[in-house]
Amino acid sequence: MDDWLGRVLAVVGTIPAGRVLSYGDVAELASAPTPRDVGQVLLRHGEGVPWWRVLRADGTPAPHLRDRQLALLRAEDTPMAPSGEAVDLRRARWAAAPGPGPGPGPGRQPTLFD
Protein backbone atom coordinates (compact mmCIF):
# COMPACT_ATOMS: atom_id res chain seq x y z
CA MET A 1 0.00 0.00 0.00
CA ASP A 2 1.39 3.41 -0.95
CA ASP A 3 2.19 5.65 2.00
CA TRP A 4 -0.18 8.36 0.81
CA LEU A 5 -2.99 5.82 0.39
CA GLY A 6 -2.70 4.89 4.06
CA ARG A 7 -2.56 8.58 5.00
CA VAL A 8 -5.78 9.24 3.06
CA LEU A 9 -7.58 6.49 4.97
CA ALA A 10 -6.12 7.74 8.27
CA VAL A 11 -7.30 11.31 7.64
CA VAL A 12 -10.79 10.21 6.61
CA GLY A 13 -10.96 7.87 9.59
CA THR A 14 -10.48 10.78 11.98
CA ILE A 15 -13.20 13.09 10.62
CA PRO A 16 -15.70 13.40 13.48
CA ALA A 17 -19.42 12.73 13.04
CA GLY A 18 -21.24 15.89 11.94
CA ARG A 19 -18.12 17.28 10.25
CA VAL A 20 -16.83 16.96 6.68
CA LEU A 21 -13.82 17.63 4.50
CA SER A 22 -13.58 18.13 0.76
CA TYR A 23 -11.59 15.76 -1.44
CA GLY A 24 -9.08 18.60 -1.81
CA ASP A 25 -8.80 19.06 1.96
CA VAL A 26 -8.05 15.36 2.39
CA ALA A 27 -5.52 15.42 -0.47
CA GLU A 28 -3.67 18.30 1.15
CA LEU A 29 -3.74 16.85 4.66
CA ALA A 30 -2.61 13.41 3.44
CA SER A 31 -0.12 14.69 0.85
CA ALA A 32 -2.03 12.74 -1.80
CA PRO A 33 -1.29 13.59 -5.45
CA THR A 34 -4.76 15.00 -6.29
CA PRO A 35 -8.33 15.21 -4.95
CA ARG A 36 -9.32 12.74 -7.68
CA ASP A 37 -6.85 10.25 -6.22
CA VAL A 38 -8.59 10.63 -2.84
CA GLY A 39 -11.86 9.67 -4.51
CA GLN A 40 -10.28 6.61 -6.06
CA VAL A 41 -8.83 5.51 -2.70
CA LEU A 42 -12.25 5.83 -1.07
CA LEU A 43 -13.90 3.95 -3.94
CA ARG A 44 -11.48 1.03 -3.72
CA HIS A 45 -10.51 0.96 -0.03
CA GLY A 46 -12.94 3.19 1.86
CA GLU A 47 -15.32 0.61 3.30
CA GLY A 48 -13.66 0.81 6.74
CA VAL A 49 -13.72 4.61 7.08
CA PRO A 50 -16.52 7.22 7.09
CA TRP A 51 -16.24 7.93 3.35
CA TRP A 52 -19.55 9.83 3.39
CA ARG A 53 -17.83 12.69 5.30
CA VAL A 54 -15.80 13.59 2.20
CA LEU A 55 -17.53 15.78 -0.38
CA ARG A 56 -16.90 17.90 -3.44
CA ALA A 57 -15.53 21.40 -2.85
CA ASP A 58 -19.05 22.88 -3.14
CA GLY A 59 -20.45 20.60 -0.43
CA THR A 60 -22.31 18.27 -2.78
CA PRO A 61 -21.90 14.50 -2.99
CA ALA A 62 -21.06 12.71 -6.21
CA PRO A 63 -24.29 12.01 -8.13
CA HIS A 64 -24.03 8.21 -7.83
CA LEU A 65 -23.70 8.51 -4.02
CA ARG A 66 -26.12 11.40 -3.48
CA ASP A 67 -29.07 9.77 -1.72
CA ARG A 68 -27.06 7.40 0.45
CA GLN A 69 -24.42 9.98 1.38
CA LEU A 70 -26.93 12.71 2.25
CA ALA A 71 -28.93 10.26 4.39
CA LEU A 72 -25.79 9.28 6.33
CA LEU A 73 -24.80 12.92 6.82
CA ARG A 74 -28.29 13.92 7.98
CA ALA A 75 -28.28 11.02 10.45
CA GLU A 76 -25.15 12.56 12.01
CA ASP A 77 -26.81 16.02 12.22
CA THR A 78 -24.31 17.47 9.77
CA PRO A 79 -25.23 21.12 8.98
CA MET A 80 -26.94 21.18 5.61
CA ALA A 81 -27.33 23.96 3.05
CA PRO A 82 -30.83 25.48 2.86
CA SER A 83 -31.58 23.40 -0.25
CA GLY A 84 -30.95 20.19 1.70
CA GLU A 85 -29.00 18.87 -1.30
CA ALA A 86 -25.55 19.82 -0.01
CA VAL A 87 -23.63 20.32 3.21
CA ASP A 88 -23.09 23.84 4.54
CA LEU A 89 -19.29 23.76 4.41
CA ARG A 90 -18.96 27.01 6.35
CA ARG A 91 -20.52 25.32 9.36
CA ALA A 92 -19.62 21.66 8.80
CA ARG A 93 -16.03 21.75 7.55
CA TRP A 94 -13.77 20.15 10.12
CA ALA A 95 -11.20 22.50 11.61
CA ALA A 96 -8.41 20.19 10.40
CA ALA A 97 -9.04 21.53 6.90
CA PRO A 98 -6.08 23.47 5.48
CA GLY A 99 -6.17 27.25 5.57
CA PRO A 100 -7.34 29.75 8.14
CA GLY A 101 -9.52 28.30 10.84
CA PRO A 102 -10.52 28.89 14.40
CA GLY A 103 -7.68 29.60 16.78
CA PRO A 104 -7.02 27.75 20.02
CA GLY A 105 -9.40 28.19 22.87
CA PRO A 106 -12.58 26.87 24.46
CA GLY A 107 -15.21 25.57 22.07
CA ARG A 108 -12.66 25.04 19.28
CA GLN A 109 -13.21 21.92 17.17
CA PRO A 110 -10.63 19.18 17.70
CA THR A 111 -8.23 18.70 14.82
CA LEU A 112 -5.84 16.04 13.62
CA PHE A 113 -3.10 17.85 15.49
CA ASP A 114 -4.73 18.05 18.97
pLDDT digits (tens, 9 = 90+) for 57-114: 999 999 999 999 999 999 999 999 999 999 999 999 998 877 654 444 444 444 443 3
How many CB atoms sit inside 10 A of residue 58's CB? 10
- Classify residue 42 as exposed, middle or buried by CB count within 10 Å of its CB (0-12, 13-18, 19+): buried
Long-range contacts of 99-105 (CB under 8 A, 24+ apart): none
Check residue 55 and report its DSSP letter: E
pLDDT bin (cut points 50, 70, 90) of residue 2 is confident
Q: How much is the pTM?
A: 0.83
Q: What does DSSP assign to residue 93?
A: B
Mapped onto helix, strand or coil, the DSSP state of residue 21 is strand
The fold of the 3-92 domain, in CATH, is Arc Repressor Mutant, subunit A (1.10.10)
